[in-house]
């Protein structure tokens, strides 16, 4: 057993259901990340549901990790966007660090694909991208870069997309670094949308064939994904992506010629 896993097993056991955290009661553990443990909790006063993130106890022993966790909470405090859960509270109990966020009662894309076996059409995948781009536009305007756009971090609730988990987010204003982080977010977004499109793929995936050969996508979608994934000249900003995305959506809505 690797030392890192042994450390987690000994020190980072999730809190049990019913545990009290100030005014919040733990209902269940939603997941364990590299730095945090996520719980679904209820406010004992109102009964309202919240998400509480705990810094892993093993990480909390290091000053650098405690500061990183605090910086993550401070970043969430500054973000004001409907599709990103807001920071609600922050506290410490017995030297354990926690913060509280709004709860989005939906399914993340990973669960939709693997647990609910949901299939996404090309146009549905692009519509999700459109919402993600609006979120990225807001973040990038404030020099915030998520850097971890993946299926588990994108929640869909009543066809509305929400972006969560800012544990790896970066705030940067250096021009060269901004360009790189911006491209990273575009690439991650493109990869995830491509992942959605593979939900319709019925053949046997081959290591020798690329998505360009395996998926039957509209040429406008291919142009879009090539640029987002850096196969063709990459995009400079969200406005450029949205222009090509709208072209692809319009093309997909047009009736096919007989």
Which of the residues are catalytic? Answer: 148
Q: Tell me the C-alpha distance between 105 and 62, whole Å.
A: 33
Strands 96-102 and 49-55: antiparallel
CA 70 to chain centre: 20
CA atoms of 249 and 258, how far apart (whole Å)? 20
Distances (CA, A) of 1 to 6, 7, 9, 31: 7, 10, 10, 21
CB 214 within 8 A of CB 206: yes
Which helix (H) or strand (E) segment holds residue 87: the answer is strand 87-93
Please provide the DSSP assignment of 194-220 as one string.
Answer: HHHHGGG--S---TTS-HHHH----HH
**What separation, in Å, do the N-terminal and C-terminal C-alpha atoms of the chain show?**
61
């Amino acid at each position: 057993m690797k030392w890192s896993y042994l450390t987690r097993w000994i020190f980072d056991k999730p809190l049990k259901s019913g545990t009290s955290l100030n005014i919040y009661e733990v209902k269940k553990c939603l997941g364990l990340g590299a730095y945090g443990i996520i719980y679904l909790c209820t406010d004992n006063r109102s009964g309202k549901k919240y998400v509480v993130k705990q810094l892993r106890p093993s990480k909390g022993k290091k000053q650098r990790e405690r500061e990183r966790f605090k910086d993550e909470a401070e970043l969430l405090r500054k973000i004001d966007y409907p599709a990103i859960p807001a920071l609600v509270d922050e506290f410490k109990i017995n030297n354990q660090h926690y913060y509280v966020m709004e709860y989005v009662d939906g399914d993340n894309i990973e669960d939709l694909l693997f647990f609910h076996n949901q299939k996404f059409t090309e146009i549905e995948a692009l519509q999700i991208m459109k919402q993600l781009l609006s979120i990225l536009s807001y973040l990038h305007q404030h020099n915030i870069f998520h850097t971890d756009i993946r299926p588990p971090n994108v929640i869909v609730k009543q066809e509305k997309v929400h972006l969560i988990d800012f544990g790896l987010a970066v705030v940067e204003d250096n021009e060269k670094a901004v360009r790189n982080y911006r491209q990273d977010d575009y690439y991650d977004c493109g990869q995830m949308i491509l992942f959605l499109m593979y939900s319709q793929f019925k053949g046997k995936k081959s290591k020798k064939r690329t998505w360009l050969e395996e998926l039957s996508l509209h040429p406008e979608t291919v142009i879009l994904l090539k640029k987002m994934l850096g196969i063709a000249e990459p995009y400079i900003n969200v406005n450029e992506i949205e222009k090509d995305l709208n072209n692809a959506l319009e093309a997909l809505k047009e009736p096919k010629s007989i």
